[in-house]
Amino acid sequence: MSILQRTACELVGSLRRGELSSAELTQACLDRIRAVDGQVGAFLRVDEQRALEQAEAIDQRRAKKQALGPLAGLPVAVKDVLCERGELTTCASRMLADFRPPYDSTVVAKLKAADAVLLGRTNMDEFAMGGSTENSAFQVTHNPWDLARTPGGSSGGSAACIAAGMTPLAIGTDTGGSIRQPAGLCGVVGMKPTYGRVSRYGLVAFASSLDQVGPMTHSVEDAALLVEVIAGHDPRDSTSLDEPVPQYSATVNEPLAGLRIGFAKEHFAEGLDAEVDQAVRAALEEYESLGAKVEEISLPHGKHGVATYYVIAPSEASSNLARYDGAHYGYRTDEQEMLIELAAQRKQLQAAGDQRGLDNLDSALVRMYRRTRAEGFGPEVKRRIMLGTYSLSAGYYDAYYLKALKVRRQIRQDYDRAFEKVDLIAGPITASPAFKLGEMTDDPLAMYLVDLYTVSANLAGIPGLCLPCGFTKAGLPIGLQLQARALDEERLLRGARMYEQATDWHKKRAPL
Amino acid sequence: MNEPYTTIIGLEVHVQLATASKLFCGCSTKFGAEPNTQTCPVCIGMPGTLPVMNLHAVELALRTAVALDCEIPPRTKWDRKQYYYPDLPKGYQISQYDLPMSHDGRLEISDTKGRFEPKTVRLIRAHLEEDAGKSLHDEAAGKGDSLIDLNRTGTPLLEIVTEPDLRSSAEAAVFLRELRLLLTYIAVSDCNMQEGSLRVDANINLHIDTAAGKVATPIVEVKNMNSFRAVERALDCEAPRQYREWQETRRVLGQSPKQTRGWDDAAGVTRAQRSKEESSDYRYFPDPDLNPVSFTAEEISRARGSLGELPATLRQRLEGEYSLPAYDADVLVNQGRPVVAYFLAVADDCHDGKVAANWITQDVLRVLKKRNLSIDELPVSSSAIAEMIVRIKSGELPAARARDVFQAMVDTGVDVGQAMSALGIASVDDSELVALCQHIVAANPKVAADVRGGKAQAIGALVGQAKKSNPNVNPNRVREICLELIGAQD
Amino acid sequence: MAITRQDVEKVALLARLQLSEAELATMSEQLAEIVGYVDHLAQVNTDGVEPMAHAIERSNVFRDDCVVESLPREEALAGAPHHDERGYLVPAVLGD
């Protein structure tokens, strides 16, 4: 097996035993990237020289028997939405195309402290808004299983680079499903921890009460290793949970006796692809054969999840993205052109004797803001900003934003009730496997509805994980989602690992 | 008032809390730094940064709310107030909207000049929010540009809003002075308008009596008043202006949008300002990056306990226990806690509040002002003043020489006894006085005759001679003794 | 709830976005469709339900009042699109 088909945990063993050097491993990744990323487009930037330097430095420290972090020598790809001091952090947007933050995000700092090798930055939907990575301002990412299809989104780049064997570890972010959905569509493992489990400091915000950073890997065991490194309380993030991080990697291989698994009857309604339905049900049967008790539960408010999410997330986003106005950092429109445009408009209005038009004409400052944001943002970002601004505006706040916050609580209460009877909730991750590039770009609402199975976990703040549970006849991956109580990552990982060890899906690699 | 209208005034005061660091990040809040040298990714609002609440700011805010007799709700939260302005880098200000940390408070005001009856000014709310930066019109950078300095962004502010209970510019000025006094007493802010740690906007309109009943003019917000004097002048200018405008236009409250006018101190007028944002829809919503705060009953009572005696209570105590006239009590209290403490020490030592007050309000304050000293820096201790007063009252120190003694203590730092010795002041006992007077009366038969003849004031010459002979004599005693002696000569 | 072109223009100004004629038309349609979809939330019975603004509810999270070194000015201004040595430059702010 090529080293690129091995899991991170297996590689850690080889690195420790000196069977493999980090430089060799990193070079193998870089070779693979050079070989296939032209077709996949997972990476926005790869810093070959820096990665090899980091790898060699780790190898030297290992040779000197110095203490090393838990990810020592392992290449990690990071979604281009987490700040790294002095490095470009673009969020796949023209608005931040040249932005270099003067500080590290907590997650990147932890990866560095764990001695990971930072391989490069992965493609994403602009500002994490999207479900296909087609909203990137820079490039399209293709699903390694079928290059004509999307890898999902918004962490499509991170999912694709794992699926294509370009790196053993990747970091994604999940606001409405953006780790879990691409994991499912790309046949890899992706986990969204409990809200607040991982620090958001340095994570460019999309929707503050929903965003979380999480691992994307070949296996659940790898996910446990990675999430353990990035989790933990951060005094710089007021929403970060002040709870100790269990040693997920130490317990992940221990199966759970007496596991109670629920499946929501609402998840198996009309609209679910027949092959997906079949694969997920087979997974439930597998759990039963492993000794778990499987029963039906109900999540009655789940059907309002997409609507609730698409009020709350754009509202918070419209506020979080207000700072991109060209004044202090990031892109600014060409001021000369702007002033010329404004002068021409003024002349026109004067000629027409339109006093009202003249009174309402943008000032230079306002015109700078408007042009900067029109030019810096793509259409999906603009759409969500408009939607969010509308939901929060006077007269609509109660009917939309406030209302959505109430339904959110009801969604959470559904989970609380369900978790009185079961420990994990299993179900589909998406209604269909990976869709074709361009298939939904003209239908924003249809794209939003893909998030049906994933948004509720973000709204409720609970952790969720997706792992492969089969393939369609056409060879497209099918994902199984597991959800757990808040702060119950250990059970979630162990439960997922039980299924993973009993099956072979995770060992399959894209034929690229 | 013989004006045909009543002036209705409400004030919005922004007070910068005296924390070392900003509200949501560790940048210093020190005044006067070079532009953009006190910023960090958080207060610049860089992508990915998050706010973390400064505990001391919350404590100072709570202390203030309690001092202002406000209600403290069981739970308070922060909201985003959204608008676009270059000195607001996040595109929103973290403020408080529907659950402010305090509401329904009050401040009593009274005027020693008697311009209005003592009254209670009600406070609608006091809430904690972050400050914005500053924009300067930069001539150098190109005529079309403004220079933005973000040093001030994120500084903790307490916004205090009054009900429109004020009825004159005098009331407004007195309210501000009393508020500033209170805030400095409880040490929550420097309240320095020159440095911007206290800022005031006023809302003013008129109630006009007409034949058809009372009408109200539209409310005008007046900004850019940079001192309490400016507030008074601006309001004095704005009220009659509104009246003239009403006479011309007859526009009443509700018929036009709220206007904003800026005070031009040099020209002495208010000018209409172009409205910055279309009828500001601030789209308030709870800030998802911050958590609510709940104060416990213990915290609230601890805050109350930490206030110390407040100006209003101190004034009453000085008037009551120490029999000071209201004016003197006011002067002392207005000087701040350390001066009041000094006064109390002197008064308690010498058992004469009135005399102690005189010495402090006149001589001590004069020295402090002239030498730019704080009371703690005064080289004369309160016990020295007290001793001096005791000796004056006992006659040991002639009243006429007391100021010289005081000055000597200030200049050289010596104590009362040493000062008196150095100045050659010794008390002259009665037998010595009698001897001296006998001598002088005998040497001035003509004066004695004049006095006996009915010209009582002629005695002044004898007093003058006695003083010349010995500057330590008590002139009143000399006069008494001489009169006795002359009267006995017959 | 019908979303008029005027609504969209007002929202675009609030959001400081400049939309072309074509974008205004598309945006109006798309917003109308999306808002029409989320409108069904109005039918959900939420009587007595408290709004949930935070995913995990914490309170009283503070930091101590300690001064931490600020960014050097050059670093703070390094990413500014238009600046001089002292600060950020923007088109003149009126009506101050």
Say if the Cβ atoms of A373 and C15 lie within 8 Å: yes
- List pLDDT tens digits, range C45-94: 999 999 999 998 899 999 999 999 999 999 999 999 999 999 999 998 76
Say if the Cβ atoms of A235 and B52 lie within 8 Å: yes
Give the per-residue pLDDT at B275. Answer: 62
User: What single string gives the DSSP state of each residue in B408-460?
Assistant: HHHHH---HHHHHHHTT--PPPHHHHHHHHHHHHHH-HHHHHHHHTT-GGGHH
Query: A257 phi and psi, to 5 degrees?
Result: -85, 145
Looking at domain C5-41, its CATH class is mainly alpha
Tell me if residue A26 falls in helix, strand or coil.
Answer: helix
Beta-carbon contacts of A356 under 8 Å, excluding residues fewer than 6 positions away, are: none
Give, for all 512 residues of chain A, the pLDDT tens digit: 577 889 999 999 999 999 999 999 999 999 999 999 999 999 999 999 999 999 999 999 999 999 999 999 999 999 999 999 999 999 999 999 999 999 999 999 999 999 999 999 999 999 999 999 999 999 999 999 999 999 999 999 999 999 999 999 999 999 999 999 999 999 999 999 999 999 999 999 999 999 999 999 999 999 999 999 999 999 999 999 999 999 999 999 999 999 999 999 999 988 899 999 999 999 999 999 999 999 999 999 999 999 999 999 999 999 999 999 999 999 999 999 999 999 999 999 999 999 999 988 999 999 999 999 999 999 999 999 999 999 999 889 999 999 999 999 999 999 999 999 999 999 999 999 999 999 998 899 989 988 999 999 999 999 999 999 999 999 999 999 999 999 999 999 999 999 999 999 999 999 88
Question: Chain A residues with CB inside 8 Å of C64's CB?
Answer: none
Q: Tell me how far apart the alpha carbons of residues A302 and B196 are, in angstroms, rounded to a whole number.
A: 52
Tell me if residue B340 falls in helix, strand or coil.
Answer: helix
Q: Tell me how far apart the alpha carbons of residues A306 and B79 are, in angstroms, rounded to a whole number.
A: 25
- Between A200, A235, A323, which is nearest B90 by CB? A323
Q: Is C52 on the interface with B (CB under 8 A)?
A: no
> Which two tokens mark A26?
């990193």
Neighbours of chain A (3+ CB pairs under 8 A): B, C
Q: Tell me how far apart the alpha carbons of residues A109 and A103 are, in angstroms, rounded to a whole number.
A: 10
Task: Kindly list the structural domains of chain A, giving each domain's residue range(s) and its CATH number in brackets, ordered by start.
Answer: 3-254+435-507 (3.90.1300.10), 306-400 (no CATH)
Tell me if residue A44 falls in helix, strand or coil.
Answer: strand
Residue type, A353: G
Say if the Cβ atoms of C81 and A329 lie within 8 Å: yes
Q: How far is C52 from chain B (nearest CA, A)?
A: 10
Q: Is C16 on the interface with B (CB under 8 A)?
A: yes
Q: Tell me how far apart the alpha carbons of residues B247 and B408 are, in angstroms, rounded to a whole number.
A: 64
Instruction: Between C1 and A394, name the one with better pLDDT.
Output: A394
User: What single string gives the DSSP state of each residue in B231-298?
Assistant: HHHHHHHHHHHHHHHHHHH---TTSSPPEEEEEETTTTEEEE---SSTT-----EE-TTS--B---HH
Give the per-residue pLDDT at B396. Answer: 80
Residue type, A109: A
Q: Tell me how far apart the alpha carbons of residues B30 and C76 are, in angstroms, rounded to a whole number.
A: 18
Q: How many CB pairs under 8 A join B and C?
A: 133
> Which two tokens mark A204?
């460019």
- Between C13, C71, C86, which is nearest B147 by CB? C86
Question: Chain B residues with CB inside 8 Å of C80's CB?
Answer: none
Sole residue written with tokens 């699109």: C81
Question: Chain A residues with CB inside 8 Å of C33's CB?
Answer: 444-445
User: What single string gives the DSSP state of each residue in A148-211?
Assistant: TB---SSSHHHHHHHHTTS-SEEEEEESSSTTHHHHHHHTSEEEE--TTSB--TTBPPSSTTT-
Taking CA atoms, B84 is separated from A322, A366, A460, B158, in Å, by 8, 9, 32, 22
Q: How far is C91 from chain B (nearest CA, A)?
A: 5
Sole residue written with tokens 């890997």: A217
- List pLDDT tens digits, range B448-489: 888 888 888 888 888 898 888 887 787 888 888 888 888 876
Beta-carbon contacts of A404 under 8 Å, excluding residues fewer than 6 positions away, are: A307, A308, A311, A312, A315, A391, C38, C41
Say if the Cβ atoms of B285 and A322 lie within 8 Å: no
Say if the Cβ atoms of B91 and A322 lie within 8 Å: yes
Q: Tell me how far apart the alpha carbons of residues B249 and C38 are, in angstroms, rounded to a whole number.
A: 47
Closest CA to A496 of A476, A507, A485, A481: A481
Preceding peptide of A154 cis, ω within 30°: yes
Give the per-residue pLDDT at C94. Answer: 61
Positions of A marked catalytic: 79, 154, 178
Give the per-residue pLDDT at B429. Answer: 77
Beta-carbon contacts of A417 under 8 Å, excluding residues fewer than 6 positions away, are: none
> Which two tokens mark A431?
């209604």
Beta-carbon contacts of B244 under 8 Å, excluding residues fewer than 6 positions away, are: none
Q: Tell me how far apart the alpha carbons of residues B219 and B221 are, in angstroms, rounded to a whole number.
A: 7
Q: Tell me how far apart the alpha carbons of residues C82 and C85 are, in angstroms, rounded to a whole number.
A: 10
How many other C-beta atoms are found inside a 10 Å radius of the C-beta of residue A73?
A: 29
First vs last C-alpha separation in chain C = 39
**A interface test, pick of C11, C38, C61 with most A CB neighbours within 10 Å:** C38
Category of B12 on φ-ψ map: left (φ > 0), alpha (ψ -120 to 50) or beta: beta
How many Cα atoms sit within 13 Å of A263 on the Cβ side? 23
Q: Mean pLDDT of all residues in chain B? A: 92
Say if the Cβ atoms of B86 and A82 lie within 8 Å: no
- Between B48, B91, B285, which is nearest A201 by CB? B48
Q: Tell me how far apart the alpha carbons of residues B126 and B68 are, in angstroms, rounded to a whole number.
A: 9
Strands A117-122 and A43-46: antiparallel
**A interface test, pick of C39, C46, C59, C74 with most A CB neighbours within 10 Å:** C46
Residue type, A284: L
Say if the Cβ atoms of B276 and C95 lie within 8 Å: yes
- Between C14, C41, C90, which is nearest A327 by CB? C90
Inform me whether the pLDDT recorded for C96 exceeds 60: no
pLDDT band at C95 (very low <50, low <70, confident <90, very high): very low
Task: Kindly list the structural domains of chain B, giving each domain's residue range(s) and its CATH number in brackets, ordered by start.
Answer: 5-298 (no CATH), 309-422 (no CATH), 430-488 (1.10.10)
